[in-house]
Structure 1
Amino acid sequence: MATTTRNADKQVRLLGLVSIIIGAVMIIAGAVTWGMVSTKLAAENITVSADAPMLAGAKVTGPIEAFVQADVINGHALKATGGKTYAQLDKEDPLRATAMNGSFLRSSLFTSVIAFGVALFAIGVGALAVITGWALRLLASREAVLAPEPVLANA
């Protein structure tokens, strides 16, 4: 019986270690992704438009700046097209290219916002995996210390 308990404790400790390793890999991958997206956005030298409701003049390097700038681009495109979207403009309307460019720029910025979100999610899940693994290892160690040795009855 004691051998079975010790084997179970070892398996739980191993599972905890695996969880910690996977969590650490996810945290690192999320941080690297965040850094790469931020670096690539910074290399584009985009600044938030002066007429933005907040962060005007800020360099776009993070999700909030990208979201704000995407919203401003939408406003500019709608203003230029008289409030019409790409789909609402006639195929021969020269403003359709303006609407299309605005839509593409917004989509690109929103893609970076999504990438930041996925990176943050990976970091969060990785942190949860590390905490869970640590807890499993703690519990397995406690059980090993607290488990009483079985008393064999005289036959």
Structure 2
Amino acid sequence: MTENFETGGAVLSRTQVNVVRLTGLAGIIGGILLIIVAIVAWASVSNQLAAEKIVIPDDAPILAGQTVNGPIDAFVQAGVIAMHAEEIGGGKTYAELDQDDPVRSTVMNASFLRASLFTSVVAFGVALFAGAVGAMFLLFGWSLRTIVPPLPKGATP
């Protein structure tokens, strides 16, 4: 015979109580790990960008003089590079320039730099997303364990 326990208005078997509480614990642990990974990823990308010592030039629309070490800085710097590449290329992109055009390699390098900066922006976004998902896991896990309390000490199967 299966013993049932009332937990917050629901009647659950011992196995169901244990499964719900274990699932909650897994959510809490998974959430904490995701938050830690998100923080490490954010810090790593930020440190790598800062190590490049990129300073946003004075002709930037915002953040002029700031060191690039975050997603907004990287996005702004990519925009400045695009602006300069457009000037250098006479309004043409790398693909539009003639193959023997001497500014083609400069515009190509600008394109690569922009792509790298946008990659860091995406990495910051993924880290933020992972942290948010981790927080949700943590909250859901905590909620499950709060709704279904531990079985009484003397409860028998």
Q: TM-score, normalised by structure 1?
A: 0.89
Structure 1 or 2: more helix by fraction: 1
Map of 2:3 onto structure 1: 2
What is the Cα-based RMSD across aligned positions, in Å? 1.4
2:30 matches 1:29 = no
Could you tell me whether the CA contact under 8 Å between 1:38 and 1:62 is conserved in 2? Answer: yes
Matches within 5 A, 1:57-68: 57-68=65-76
1:84 and 2:85 correspond:
no
Deviation at 1:6, TM superposition (A): 2.4
What are structure 1's unaligned runs of at least 5 residues? 146-155
The C-alpha deviation readout for 1:81-106, integer Å capped at 9, x for no partner, is 11000000001111101110110110
How many Å separate the matches in 1 of 2:69 and 2:138? Answer: 29
Number of the residue aligned with 1:43: 51
Q: Quote how far apart the aligned CAs of 1:5 are.
A: 1.8
Map 1:2-151; keep pairs closer than 5 Å. Answer: 2-3=3-4, 5-141=13-149
Counterpart of 2:9 in structure 1 is: none
The 8 Å contact of residues 24 and 130 in structure 1, kept in 2 or not, is answered as: yes
The separation in 2 between residues aligned to 1:18 and 1:70, in whole angstroms, is 40
- Describe the superposition over 1:101-120 as per-residue Cα deviations: whole angstroms up to 9, x where unpaired: 11011011001001000000
Percent of aligned positions with the same letter in both sequences? 54
Equivalent residues of 1:31, 1:123 under 8 A apart = yes
Give the TM-score taking structure 2 as reference length. Answer: 0.88
Shift of 1:49: 1.4
More strand as a share of residues:
2
Paired amino acid for 2:3: A
Following superposition, the deviation at residue 132 of structure 1 comes to: 0.4
Cα distance in structure 1, aligned partners of 2:115 and 2:16: 51
AA in 1 matched with 2:85: A
**Structure 1 stretches of 4+ moved >6 Å:** none
* Structure 2 stretches lacking a partner, 5+ long: 5-11, 153-157
How far apart in 1 are the matches of 2:85 and 2:132? 36
